[in-house]
Amino acid sequence: MKNTTLIIGMLLLLAGNAFAPVPTTRYVPLGSGSPDYATIQAAVAAANPGDTIQVAAGSYAVTGANLNHALTLMGAQAGVDGRDGRPAALESTITSGGFGVFTLAASGVTFDGFTFSNLKGRTIDAGVNADNFTMRNCIVQCSSIDPGYNTGAIQFDGGLSLHANGLMFERNLVTADNGQLLYMGHAMDSGTIRSNIFHGDTVSFGPFGARTGWVIEGNEFNGNVPGHGAYWGFGFNANLGNVIIRNNTVSKMNLGIGQISVVGGSITGNMFDDNKSAAFQLWGGEYGTVVSANVLIETNTINYNGTTCTGFGDASHGIRLRPLGDDPTGIVGATIHLHNNNFANLGVGMCGQVWAIRNNANPATMVDAAGDWWGTTDPVQIAAMLNGPVNFTPWLGGPRNGSPNTLYENTANTLQAAIDVAYPGDTIILAPGTYSGAIVNKTLTITGGAGVFIQGASPALTVSSGTVTVSGITYTTATADPTIQIGRASCRERV
List the single range of 66-75, 262-271, 300-309 with lowest mean pLDDT: 300-309
Strands (DSSP E) contained in 95-233 are: 102-104, 110-112, 114-116, 124-126, 134-136, 139-140, 152-156, 168-170, 173-174, 180-184, 192-194, 197-198, 202-205, 215-217, 220-222
Strand 474-477 relative to strand 110-112, pairing: unpaired
Kindly indicate the confidence band of residue 404, based on its pLDDT and cuts at 50, 70 and 90: very high
Query: Tell me: the pLDDT tens digits for 461-476?
Result: 889 999 999 999 988 8
Residues composing the chain: 495
Count of CB atoms within 10 A of residue 18's CB? 7
Q: Which residues make Cβ contacts (< 8 Å) with residue 18, sequence separation at least 6?
A: none
Region 288-293: what's the mean pLDDT? Answer: 94
Kindly indicate the confidence band of residue 305, based on its pLDDT and cuts at 50, 70 and 90: low
Buried b (16+ CB within 10 A) or exposed e, 84-123: eebeeeebbbbebbbeebbbbbbbbbbbbbbbbbbbbbbb
Sign of the C-alpha dihedral, residues 465, 422, 259, 193?
Answer: negative
Q: Facing residues of 111 across strands?
A: 73, 135
Query: Tell me: the pLDDT tens digits for 437-458?
Result: 899 999 999 999 999 998 877 7
Q: How many CA atoms lie within 13 A of 432 on its CB side?
A: 2
Contact assessment for residue 430 and residue 415, using Cβ atoms and an 8 Å cutoff:
yes
Count of CB atoms within 10 A of residue 260's CB? 29
Region 231-253: what's the mean pLDDT? Answer: 96
pLDDT above 50: residue 489: no
Region 79-94: what's the mean pLDDT? Answer: 97
pLDDT reported for residue 199:
96
Count of CB atoms within 10 A of residue 130's CB? 26
Query: Tell me: the pLDDT tens digits for 21-58?
Result: 899 999 999 999 999 999 999 999 999 999 999 999 99
pLDDT above 80: residue 315: no
pLDDT reported for residue 478:
63
Percent of the chain past pLDDT 90, that is, above it, reads 74
Q: Facing residues of 368 across strands?
A: 337, 391
Quote the DSSP letter at residue 147.
T
Give dist(CA 157, CA 242) in Å, integer.
Answer: 23
Kindly indicate the confidence band of residue 484, based on its pLDDT and cuts at 50, 70 and 90: confident
CA distances (Å), origin 157, targets 133, 164, 331: 14, 10, 29
Give dist(CA 353, CA 476) in Å, integer.
Answer: 44
Give dist(CA 266, CA 300) in Å, integer.
Answer: 11
pLDDT above 60: residue 16: no
Mean of pLDDT over the chain: 90
pTM: 0.92
Question: Can the peptide bond before residue 424 be classed as cis, meaning omega within 30 degrees of 0?
Answer: no
CA-nearest of 259, 343, 336 to 300 is 343
pLDDT reported for residue 483:
75
Contact assessment for residue 105 and residue 67, using Cβ atoms and an 8 Å cutoff:
yes
pLDDT reported for residue 494:
35
pLDDT reported for residue 317:
80
